[in-house]
Chain A
Amino acid sequence: MRKSRRDQAGRLAVWVLVGPYVVFLVAFGLAPAAFGLWTSLGSWGEVFGDYRLGAAVRNVALYLVLWLPVLVLLVLSLALTLHARPGRFAGVMRFVYYLPGAVTGSAAALLWLFMMSPDVSPFGPLLGALGIGSASQALQGDGLIGVLVVMGVAIHAGGWIVVLYGALTALPRDVLEAAAVDGATPWRITRHVKLPLVRRYVAFVLISSFASGTQVFVEPTVLETSARGQISPTWSVNQLAYFYATQEGDFGRAAALSLAMLAVGLVAALLVIYKTRFYRTDAV
């Protein structure tokens, strides 16, 4: 009798501790998704019939096709190069790559607009060689995707380099040494030993970046407001959903489209958890 009352008090205590978080989890995680689903009923057909959706999907797809390979290759090659010759220089460089991650959102858009303006940019000669005479020219046509790719790489590469480098330093030393003793060249060790061992991390980088890339919103929005008329306000899928909600006042379509995007993110999240087993806790 005493014991069970104690158990009951214990259960109550646990919910005092975890309850407030669960309330927030429901209110700002599950509820908006459920409410969105309710709001979206009847609007799905309209959304998928909208000609602007096709254009937005093409834009985002092209952005991903260019950005993802550049990001992953750069991150991998820099992390492997840093790891091949660790030391003071490598330590400093690792930090240098990481810093631009602090400049995000509208600050990043502002900074890179200046970087694309030949009259003030330290990359002036490079821009000249590419035939870019002004920031507005850099944003014209497919130039926008180029600017977004460069921005996206500068912002995200550093954090991933740190993660991948951390994974490399955690590799078992004896395996790498055994390969070296067997006469494997540094290149062969990288290609056949290190790379397969950090595959899980590369998959994690790829899936997470894919998920966040599909949701691209901030950068094209900020670039659009500063170069009005040049860039479509419905350039990306999320921008189109935002446009539905705020410019056309159509919450049904906005909800349908953002739920479709949510589903893409959810699939990616589940892939990370169950396929790459990146978060190995006893919960999954």
Chain B
Amino acid sequence: MTRRAFLALAGVFFVLPLVWMVLAPTRTADSLIGGPPLAFGSIANVASAWGNLMAYNDGELAGWIGNSVGYAAASVALTLLLSIPAGYALAKHDFAGRRAVLTLTLIGMILPQTALVLPLYLEMTAAGLTGTPWSVILPLAFYPFGVYLAYLHFASALPGAILDAGRVDGAGELRLFLTIGLPLARPAIGLIAFFGFVNVWTNFFLPFVMLDDDRTFTLQLGLMSLLQSTGAVNASSGFSSLNIHQPEAALAGLVACAPTLAAFLVAQRALRTGMLAGAEKG
């Protein structure tokens, strides 16, 4: 019984903020402050909060959502194009430099990504790329954990004998990858896309450093400027002309988290495996 109580108490700490975030947009600011913190208001309130959010800086939020989606899509697509062939080559071929590439990949996986952000910024400034979407998309497409997942997958799921049979039949190495390796890669593609997407979508430090025009912002960056005008911290600092209050901010936060929450729900089955280990950093 005490065991259950301990687990349940911890559960309350973890889940209450999320429940609050889901419920808050259904309330009005006044009822949220005056009434009980956890109660359902009405769907109409959600619609009005959404309207207020969309009116913020002439619909800037929609642009941020579009940017986040665009950066994530481009970066994940590139990640897949890079990591599936690389993982295959590392798992099924011995070549000069293989050990070095594998070791650097492992280091890149474990090293907190934040550690490289400022050196990347200096490099991008020298290359004249800061401020462009590429300064976010390209560095995030370098995703060593994706290569590691592809490597593990091909090492365990693709017997060398199948490839040898293909070689005897005279197929070239690239052809073997396209006809045998690639069709077998589907589970790895799913996993890499999942972790890669979460990684890009939730990233804050890199776009924060690289982008300075708020029209190029991601949703994570936009949330910060929203936060300044909500008066969540200093009630007096909120611009009174803006209709951005607690319910609007909570709704924006919910929109920012919705894709990751959805991805987590879908990926629940993968939780059983230890595969998550490398995703836990930064």
**Footprint of B on A, CB under 8 Å?**
9-11, 13-18, 20-22, 24-25, 27-33, 35-36, 39, 74, 77-78, 81-82, 84-85, 89-90, 93-107, 109-115, 117, 119-124, 134-136, 139, 154, 156-160, 162-163, 166-167, 170, 204, 208, 211-212, 214-215, 217-218, 221-222, 225-228, 238, 241-242, 245-246, 251, 254-255, 258-259, 261-262, 264-266, 268-270, 272-273, 278-279, 281, 283-284
Contact A120 B256 (CB under 8 A): no
Given the complex, which residues of B lie within 8 Å of A104, measured CB to CB?
202, 204, 260
Contact of A159 among B8, B106, B107, B280 (CB under 8 A): B280
Give the CA-CA distance A74 to B109 in the complex, in Å.
Answer: 25
Contacting pair A33 B116 (CB below 8 A): yes
Cβ contacts under 8 Å, B237 to chain A: 228
Selected from B6, B20, B82, B261, the residue in CB contact (under 8 A) with A21 is B82
What is the number of contacts between chain A and chain B, taking CB atoms within 8 Å? Answer: 329
Which residues in B have some Cβ–Cβ distance to A below 8 Å? 3-4, 6-8, 10-11, 13-21, 24, 32-33, 37-38, 81-83, 85-86, 88-90, 93, 95, 97-99, 101-112, 114-123, 125-126, 138-139, 141-142, 144, 147-148, 151, 172-174, 177, 198, 202-205, 208-209, 220-221, 223-224, 226-228, 232-235, 237, 246, 249-250, 252-253, 256-257, 260-261, 263-264, 268, 271-274, 276-277, 279-282
Task: Enumerate chain B residues within 8 angstroms of A262, measured Cβ to Cβ.
Answer: 111, 115-116, 119
* Interfacial chain A residues near B221, Cβ < 8 Å: 106
| Contacts known (A103-B18, A166-B274); A110 close to B107, Cβ less than 8 A | no
Which residues of chain A are within 8 angstroms of B82 by Cβ–Cβ distance?
20-21, 24
Which of A13, A163, A212, A241 contacts B112 (CB under 8 A)?
A: A212
Q: Which residues of B contact A227 (CB under 8 A)?
A: 233-234
Given A28-B116, A279-B106, 18 new contacts (CB under 8 A): A10-B172, A13-B177, A18-B95, A22-B86, A27-B142, A29-B144, A30-B104, A35-B119, A90-B7, A99-B264, A102-B263, A106-B204, A110-B226, A120-B24, A215-B112, A217-B114, A266-B115, A273-B110
**Structural contact, A35 and B122, CB atoms closer than 8 A:** yes
Residues of chain B lying within 8 A (CB to CB) of residue A208:
110, 280-281
Name which residue of chain A comes closest to B6, CB basis.
Answer: A81
When chains A and B are docked, how far (Å) is the Cα of A84 from the Cα of B148? 32
Choose from A25, A99, A160 the contact partner of B104 (Cβ within 8 Å): A25
A99 lies within 8 A of B110 (CB): no
A sample of 22 cross-chain residue pairs with beta-carbon separation below 8 angstroms, ordered by A number, consists of A13-B174, A14-B95, A15-B95, A17-B93, A17-B174, A28-B139, A31-B123, A102-B264, A103-B261, A106-B204, A106-B221, A110-B227, A159-B276, A163-B276, A217-B114, A225-B228, A242-B209, A245-B118, A258-B117, A268-B110, A281-B106, A283-B102
Task: List the B residue with the shortest CB-CB distance to A18.
Answer: B89
B273 contacts A166, C-beta separation under 8 Å? yes
A24 touches B142 (CB 8 A): yes
Chain B residues whose C-beta falls within 8 Å of the C-beta of A77 in the assembled complex: 6
